[in-house]
Structure 1
């Protein structure tokens, strides 16, 4: 067995890992888009082409539906892949929404092509419950099973356990097809190897989702390392900083712009904002803006993303997969993802009107819009209209990849720099802040605890999905809890 990495080997996007079980059998774990500088300076479509041999791939396992983990599926199908697409039950609800949007943005908006593509996806999808083994291959020579476990990253996210049992080397080559039936009834000693692919692990305090629990064992572990060199702020601290940013916008008659991915981060923010804003009479609400009529109204939360609105509606449908805290709120009559001051903006015309209104009126508001790294989507129009005005705040709550406008704003904004948006130079005068605690990724301690919690530690660990510095620091931390014989691959 060996593992090839076709993405996220030296960066944090384009996750795609091929587990070669033998010369004729392999599994693909994720097949995601490259983003930011990792997408290259040339034709990004060419960057996403499947340039590796897929003739042995028996199945694609999707750990979760973020675009950097599933966005290359159209190119995979075009390359001839005709096997099943395996994912968790919640992911099976969310995946068509993600892939439809990505197809329209990156390939074609032709209705017939989109429908044909989605039918292919639907026909191939196998939705698995968590914690149950699924047998993918069962022959006299080998048995391959997979199990999905909650990863706590976004709704439906999973880490993958692959259990490979193989007959002694050479047995398959010496047996003929005529004695296969006989072999099935003869006891055989098989070697067993457990390979675990972490996908993206969530933080222990991610809203709506239970924290990931480590597997019992792993012989080989492929582990993400996005935040392998740092720890997040506590949930209490990040909520205080979120409230402080909103209070400041109220005082300045400005808008808090939060670039956020449509799935995962948006729903977590809505969950937190519902608690912060609350109802005017409950004692928990944020300061209110007095209107011209002398009455008070809580600050509006504007969700300006049709795709995020669809995902939020689907999240509400998937309440059985929420954690205990969220269910407690529901029993109290709360509406974590559908509170009264939440406004949604659907049409492009309404979006442009909202941008103009907030830029000109001085009405405080909180805007959540995609994309999360400011390289596309409706957040770009808000940034172009408001970055030059010191009344407003830009609040980053997620990782900004190298080469994205989000990284430039994050890096140069606090020093009065500028950013290029749609080939236009925009000077940055608004306040720019980053709240690390809202990352949906596990921090260094969370990653260490994931390995530490295994009863049987891996003999080999491959660190992926992280910058080189983060990998080096994480390796040093993991070496203190693993055996001296554990082999690390960076």
Structure 2
């Protein structure tokens, strides 16, 4: 078995790894690169192998940085099966159709304004490309070892990151590869804790927060409640960039849990996403994947997805109407790194207001607008125009969907004996710190994946 590293190798986005075993080629994830304009331009590049020669694609979960180039892979010739956990398979059309729609809209907007000498922008893929790709998807439950090709089997375990997120075990040539996907923290509401694995010949492990530990979750929730109270006293809006799957559902969960304590009924809560209603239905279909506390909350009053003051806005006109509100609104909109989507329009209207609060609840990749705001930028450019940043900014790290250094070390520590490990899905500072901790505790020299690197398992 050989593993070739082609994405999320030295960066957090663009997950893509190629496994060769039993004379077959299997790709793990096919994610979109997110960040700077230069980084995102790499999404148009050729794939590391001819897509038509790939035998199968296996997806760890439905976030765009793990699945966002799947329709392009199909458009360029891939015709094999696409294996995904059942909830992931149900989320894929929502995520990919939204991604295609955003790209089509961006291309249309660019071409409408372009000068005669400028080249026409073409979307990375279209909604028709997405539909073609979806016909190849094959859902699998957790804990069902399945032969996906002659001589190659896979097994999904719950990664606790988002609904349907999976730790992927790959068996071939008498060897076992374990790909962590993205690992969630223990104690995350709604989701179950990530499962442990005890044996592997090689581990590919994410390292997003390999250099730090999150704040205690209880402290984080108190902080969130304090931010909301402060914003209410200052008569401002609260903007929360959040991806449609994951942190959005957790935020609504906490609003329901602290309904009386935080006086949530005084707010107008907007979930500004054309995907939101569809995602809610997927969650409703998969209560069996919830932890016990979440199942109890879902049966209680108010239900997190049916809060009496929750407005799910789908149309552009509904979204634009929110911007007439100068205070008393909590606006949750995508995307989570503020690198696109409807949150940009709300930021344009609110960043100049001193009473406004912007709350970041997830990782902000280098080069994204979210990262610039977190780093304290005084001016930012949105849709070609510069905006002064007067709004107050908060980073609530304890709500991250990724586990921290402590959690990563605990997950790796469950292997007996400690296998070779390659760190992916992390910036170098995070990977180097995690590699140092692994060596100190287990005597293993962790490899830092680099684009084009190949390892024999």
Task: Tell me the TM-score normalized by structure 2.
Answer: 0.89
User: Contact 2:52/2:79 (CA < 8 Å) preserved in 1?
Assistant: no
Deviation of 1:272 after TM superposition, in Å, equals 1.1
Q: Aligned to 2:305, what secondary structure does the other structure show?
A: coil
Residues 270/9 of structure 1: CA separation in 2 closer, same or farther (3 Å cut): same
1:137 match: 149
Q: Which residue of 1 aligns with 2:241?
A: 259
Cα distance change, pair 469–321 in 1 and its aligned pair in 2 (3 A) = same
In structure 2, the residue matched to 1:173 is none
- Is 1:467 aligned to 2:431, yes or no? no
Structure 2 match to 1:178: none
Matched residue SS, 2:381: strand
Contact 2:59-2:84 at 8 Å conserved across structures? yes
Largest Rg, 1 or 2: 1
Quote the Cα distance in structure 1 between the aligned partners of 2:269 and 2:87.
26
1:224 lines up with 2:206 in the alignment: yes
Q: CA deviation at 1:252?
A: 0.4
Tell me how far 1:43 sits from its aligned partner. 4.3
- In structure 1, distance between residues paired with 2:154 and 2:40: 37
Q: Give distance in 2, aligned partners of 1:384 and 1:33.
A: 25
1:69 aligns with one of 66, 69, 77: 66
1:285: which partner in 2?
261
Q: Is the 8 A contact 2:175 2:201 kept in 1?
A: yes
Q: What SS class does the counterpart of residue 6 from structure 1 fall into?
A: strand
Greater displacement, 326-335 / 263-272: 326-335
Partner of 2:154: 146
Q: Does 1:53 align with 2:29?
A: no
- Please name the residue that 1:16 is paired with: 16
1:212 and 1:40 map into 2 onto residues whose CA distance is: 34
Decide whether aligned partners of structure 1 residues 44 and 487 sit closer, same or farther in structure 2, where only a CA change above 3 A counts.
Answer: closer
- Deviation string 1:429-454 (CA, Å, 9 cap, x unpaired) is 11111010111011101110111112
* Equivalent in 396, 410, 417 of residue 360 of structure 2: 396
| C-alpha spacing 1:376/1:332, structure 2 compared with 1 (3 Å) | closer
Query: For the residues of structure 2 that align with 1:54 and 1:268, how far apart are their CA atoms?
Result: 37
Contact 1:16–1:32 (CA under 8 A) maintained in structure 2: yes
* Match 1:433 to one of 381, 394, 407: 394
Deviates more, 1:317-326 or 1:398-407: 317-326
Check 1:35–1:345 CA distance in 2 against 1; reply closer, same or farther (3 A cut): same
Match of 1:97 in 2: 94
Residue 44 of structure 1, CA deviation: 5.2
Does residue 339 of structure 2 align to residue 375 of structure 1?
A: yes
Residues 462/241 of structure 1: CA separation in 2 closer, same or farther (3 Å cut) = same
State the partner residue of 2:330: 366
Where structure 2 has 5 or more consecutive residues not aligned to the other structure, the ranges are 109-124, 450-457
1:115 deviation in Å? 6.6
Deviation (angstroms), 1:241: 0.8
Cα distance, 1:464 vs. partner?
0.6
- Alignment match, 1:158: 166
The within-5 A match list for 1:182-197 is 192-197=174-179
> Distance in 2 between the 1:67 and 1:156 partners?
14
**Partner of residue 172, structure 1:** none
Given candidates 403, 407, 413, the residue that maps to 1:446 is 407
Mapped partners of 1:393, 1:77: distance in 2: 41
Paired residue secondary structure (2:176): strand
Say which SS state the counterpart of residue 205 (structure 1) adopts: coil
Name the counterpart of 1:385: 349
**8 A Cα contact 1:227 1:443, kept in partner:** yes
Q: CA deviation at 1:333?
A: 4.5
Gaps of 5+ in 1: 167-191, 279-283, 289-296
Provide the rounded CA distance (Å) in 2 between the counterparts of 1:153 and 1:42.
24
Give yes or no for contact 2:162–2:401 (8 Å, CA) kept in 1: yes
CA distance in 2, matches of 1:475, 1:42: 28
TM-score by length of 1: 0.84
Q: Deviations over 1:54-109 (max 9, x none)?
A: 45422100100101101111221122111000000111111111111122222589
Other structure's SS at 2:7 match: coil
Cα distance, 1:333–1:246 mapped onto 2, change above 3 Å: closer
Q: Secondary structure at the match of 1:18?
A: strand
- C-alpha contact 2:71 2:132 (8 A) present in aligned 1: no
Structure-2 change in CA distance of 1:42 and 1:446 (3 Å): closer
Identify which of structures 1 and 2 has the higher relative contact order when contacts are C-alpha pairs closer than 8 Å and 6+ apart: 2
Q: Which residue of 2 aligns with 1:424?
A: 385
